[in-house]
Structure 1
Amino acid sequence: MTKKIVVVGGGASGMMAAISAAERGASVTLLEPNERLGKKLNITGKGRCNVTNNSNTEELLANVPRNGKFLYSAFSRFDGQDAMAFFEELGVPLKVERGKRVFPVSDRSFDVSGALERRLKKQKVILSRKRAVRLLIEDGAVRGVETEQGTLPADAVILATGGVSYPATGSTGDGHRLAVEAGHTVTPLQGSLVPLQEEEGGVCRDLQGLSLRNVGLTVFEDNKKIETDFGELLFTHFGVSGPLVLSASAHMRYFGKKTYRLEIDLKPALDEGQLDKRLLSDFEKYANSDFCNALNDLLPQKLIPVMVARSGIPKHQKIHDVTREQRQSFGRLLKHFSINIAAPRPVEDAIVTSGGVKVSEIDPHTMESKCVKDLYFSGELIDVDAYTGGFNLQIAWATGRAAGFAAAENKE
C-alpha cells in the first residue's frame, strides 16, 4: 500500500523531506501557508544561497557546536559532497568559494528553490496552502494533521516548520507548539548567527553605518580568547552586525552567566612592529598637524573622533609632540579596539534559531519521535545549529533526507 505522508513546512528541510519521501514511493502532501516555498532559503547568503559546505562528515560535525553528535548518522549518509551532487543533478551548477562555501554559479538563491520546486512537481508532491493547527494522535501514533480547513489523514507526519528567527518568512513557532502538544520537550529558544548589542555607554551608536572590511575579530568569554576570525562587520545604532559578527555570535552561548568582549584588529595585515613603522611614517608626514587631523590616511573619517577619544592623546596635541609611548599605545589600540557586548539581539533578528525539540527524544538515524510513533522532525526545529558557511542548510538537507526516507518505509 502507498503510504500517505504529510510534511508540515515548505522550507529547505521540508522540501527535501517531501522529495525524499516521494522518491521512496510515498504519496506526499506538503503544507506551506506562505505564498511561495523556500521563503527563508531565498534570502540566505544575501540572496546568493550558501547551499552547503564542501565537507565530509567529520568536518561538518566540527562546525556544529550544539548537539553535533546527534547528526553523525544523517551526515554520514548525506554530507556536503552528496548535497552538491544532489543539486547539480537537479540542474543547479555550483561553485566553491573561500572556506569551502558552496554557492550556485548564478549567485541566485531562486535557482536553488526553483530546482526543488520542479523536483516536487516531478515527484507529484501535492502542495497545500493550509496551516497545520494540531496533530491527530491515536494510541501513541500520529494519524493525520488538522488544518484550518479540515483534516488530512496520514500514515506519517514530518514536522519541518523551522525555528522562530525571521518571522516574516513564516517561522512562527507552530512546530514547537505542535511538538510540545505531542509530549516533546523544547529547549529554550534564542538567536544564533545574530547581531550583537553593545553595553550602555559604548561607541557603536556614534559609528552607526560604518562598515569595516578586512578586519580581524577576536571573541573573549570571561577574558579568555575563544574565537578569532577575519572579514567584514558593520556598526549599528545598537551594536555590531555583519558576516564577521554573525559568525562570532554562534560562539557566545552563555549570556547572563559569562561576560563577552569583542576586540577588532583594524590593521590585521601588520604586526605591532610594522604598524609602529607605519605610524612613524604617517606622523612624519603630518608632523605639524594636530593629532586629530593626522589620521586621515590611517582610518575612516567616522572612526577618527572615537579613536582619538580612546587614545587619551589630546586631539589638538601637535604630532611632533606625541611621545614614543603615546604612539605605541595608539598602535596597540588599533590592534585591540574593544567592544563590550551586553546581549544578542532578539531571536527574531537572528538568521538561525538555537534551541528546539530535544535531541534525546528523537531517533538520530530516522528522525522519528521517541514519544509518538510515525512522527518525524527535520531542520531548524530540532535543537541543533551550526556556524556560518552553509552548515545550517546542510543540517536541513541531511535531516530532511533522513526523515523523508524513514517515513516512507513500510514498517513490519
Structure 2
Amino acid sequence: MEKSIVVIGGGAAGLMAAITAARQGAQVTLLEPNERLGKKVNITGKGRCNVTNDCDRETLLANIPGNGRFLYSALTRFTPQDTMAFFRELGVSLKVERGNRVFPVSDSAFDITDALERELKRRRVRWARDRALHIKTENGAVTAVQGEKDAYPAQAVILATGGVSYPGTGSTGDGYRMAQELGHTVVLPRGSLVPLVCAGSDCPDVQGLSLRNVELTVYNGKKKPVFREFGELLFTHFGVSGPLVLSASAHLRRWEGETYRLDIDLKPALDEQKLDARLLRDIGENPNRDMSNIAAGLVPHSMIPVLLRRAGLSGNEKANSLTKEQRRGLVQVLKHFTLDVTGTRPVSEAIVTAGGVKVGEVAPSTMASKRVDGLYFAGEVLDVDAYTGGFNLQIAWATGYLAGLSAAESEEMYD
C-alpha cells in the first residue's frame, strides 16, 4: 500500500521533498498554484541560481545566524556535496566560483528547475495547480489538504510554502496561517538579505551610484563592529542596497532599541597616511585647480558634492589653499563615509524571510511537527535564515530532503 503524501509548495524545499518522498515509494501530490514550478529558484543569483556552497558543515553552520543548530541533523543528512551530487545525477553540470559558490555551468537557473521537473515526472509525482487553504486533521493527525479546487487525502503533509519575500513568486504567507491553525507558533516574519534605509539626503543625492571594492563595516549602538566585508554597494533613493548591504542586513538581528551605523571605506587599498600622501601629491601637481577638480580623481562625479560637503569644503577652494586640518578632514570622509541606518525595506523586498514556524515545535531529526502527527516542515516557512552565498538554498534542499524522507518512512505508512 503506497503512502499518500501531499507537499504544499513548489519551491526548492517542496520540490526536493516531493522527489525524495516519491523515491521512497510514496504516492506524492504537489500543490502549487503558480504556472511554473521553482519560480523563486529561477530568480536567485540574478537568474544564475547559486545552488549551494561547497563548504564543510562547520562553515555552513557559521553562515546560518538564524537557528543554525536546529539544522544540524538536516545538514548532516544532506550536505552541500550531496546537493551537488544530486544535481549532477540529474544531468546538470556545476561549477564552483569565488567564495565556494556553486552555479550551473550554463549560468541558467532554468537548468536546475527543468531538471527537478523532469525528475518529478519520472517519479510520477502529481502536480495539482491548486492553492492549499487548510490542512485537515482528525484525532491529532493529518487526513487531507483542502485546496481552492479540490480536497487531497493525505497520510502525511509537508508544508513548504516559503516565506513572504518576493510575493510575486507566490510567497503569500499561507503556510504561516495554516501552521497557526494547527497550533504552531509563528515568529514574526521580517526581511533578511534586504536593502537598508538610511537617514539624511546624501543617499538620494547619489542614487544610482554603484561602488565596487569598498569596505563596509557595520557598528551597533555600542560602537561594536557586527559586520565587515569588501565588495559592491549601491546608493538608492531610500538608502543603500547591493551585495555588501544585503549580506550586512542578515547581521542586524534586532531593531527594537538598537541602532546601527554604516562605515564605508571608499579607499580600502590605502591607509590614512598613504591617502594623505596621495592627496598632497595631487595638490602639488595641480596647485591652482579647484578642490572639486581634485576630488574628481578620488570619487565618481556624482559623489563629489557630497564628499566635499561632508569635509566642510565648497569645492571652489584652490587646492594650494587647503589647510592641513581640511586635508585631514577630507581623508577622514574618504576612509569613514558614515550613514545612520533607520530600518530595512519591507519584507516583500527581501531575498529571504527571517522568522516563521518556531523551530522548538519541530523535531530537528525528522522535520516533523511536535503538535500534529503526519505534519512536516521544510524550507523558508521555518524560522531559519542564512547569509548570501548559496546557504539559504542549501537549507531548502536539506530540510526538503529530510522532510520527504521522514514523511515517507514514518510509521503511519504501516498502520
Residue 284 of structure 1 and its aligned partner are, at CA, apart by 1.9
**Aligned counterparts, 1:272-283, within 5 A:** 272-283=272-283
SS in 1 for 2:43: helix
Q: Summarize the alignment of residues 12-411 of structure 1 with structure 2, pairs less than 5 Å apart.
A: 12-199=12-199, 201-222=200-221, 223-411=223-411
State the AA in 2 paired with 1:157: V
Q: Deviations over 1:231-262 (max 9, x none)?
A: 11111111111111000000011113210111
What CA deviation, in whole Å up to 9, does each residue of 1:171-230 have, x standing for no partner? 00000000000110000110000000012x331010111011111100111121111011
Distance 2:164 2:143 in 1: 26
Give the aligned residue type for 1:105: V
Q: 8 Å contact 1:4–1:154 — kept in the other structure? A: yes
Q: CA deviation at 1:59?
A: 1.2
Instruction: Give yes or no for the alignment of 1:6 onto 2:6.
Output: yes
Tell me, yes or no, if the aligned pair for 1:216 and 1:264 is still in contact at 8 Å: yes
Q: Do 1:145 and 1:153's aligned partners in 2 also have CA atoms closer than 8 Å? A: yes
User: How high is the TM-score relative to the length of structure 2?
Assistant: 0.98
Question: Is this contact kept in 2: 1:79–1:398, CA < 8 A?
Answer: yes
Query: How big is the shift at 1:109?
Result: 0.7
Q: Which runs of 5+ in 1 are unaligned?
A: none
**How many pairs align?**
411
Give the secondary structure class of the aligned counterpart of 1:356: strand
Aligned AA (1:214): N
Structure 1: how far apart are the matches of 2:95 and 2:274?
A: 37
CA–CA distance in 1 between the matches of 2:89 and 2:151? 36
List, as ranges, runs of 4+ consecutive aligned residues in structure 1 with deviation greater than 4 Å.
none
Give the whole-Å Cα distance in 2 for the aligned partners of 1:152 and 1:226. 47
Decide whether the 8 Å contact of 1:3 with 1:410 is kept in 2: no
Q: Which secondary structure does the structure 2 equivalent of 1:171 belong to?
A: coil
2:357 aligned counterpart, secondary structure? coil
Instruction: Give the whole-Å Cα distance in 1 for the aligned partners of 2:329 and 2:397.
Output: 50
Distance, in Å, in 2 between the alignment partners of 1:410 and 1:228 is: 45
* Alpha-carbon shift at residue 99 of structure 1 (Å): 1.1
Distance 1:238 1:389 in 2: 25
The CA deviation at 1:87 is 1.0
RMSD, aligned CA: 0.9
Could you give the per-residue CA deviations for residues 88-117 of structure 1, whole angstroms, max 9, x where no partner exists? 111111111111111111111111111111
Separation in 2 of the partners of 1:390 and 1:56?
Answer: 13
After superposition, the C-alpha distances for 1:42-90 in whole angstroms (9 at most, x for unaligned) are 0001111110000121111110001111000000111111111111111
Distance 2:65 2:410 in 1: 34
AA paired with 1:316? N
Taking structure 1 as the reference length, the TM-score comes to: 0.98
What letter is aligned with 1:127?
W
Q: CA deviation at 1:286?
A: 2.3
- CA displacement at 1:347 relative to structure 2: 0.3
Identity %: 62
Q: Which amino acid is 1:180 matched to?
A: Q
How far apart are 1:313 and its partner, in Å? Answer: 2.5
Whole-Å separation in 1 of the counterparts to 2:229 and 2:169:
29
- Shift of the 246–61 alpha-carbon distance from structure 1 to 2, 3 Å rule, reads same
My pick for the range that moved more, 374-383 or 53-62, is 53-62
| TM-fit CA distance, 1:410 | 4.3
Q: Distance in 1 between matches of 2:314 and 2:239?
A: 26
Matched AA of 2:315: K
- Inter-partner Cα distance in structure 1 for 2:299 and 2:284: 17
Q: d(CA) in 2 for partners of 1:138 and 1:34?
A: 29
Checking the alignment, whether the CA contact within 8 Å between 1:202 and 1:339 is kept in structure 2 is no
Give the deviation of 1:324 after TM superposition: 2.1
- Which ranges of structure 2 fall in alignment gaps of 5 or more residues? none
1:232 is paired with a residue whose SS is strand
Alpha-carbon separation, structure 2, partners of 1:285 and 1:386: 49
Report the Cα offset of residue 297 of structure 1.
Answer: 1.6
Retained in 2: the 8 A contact 1:8–1:14?
yes
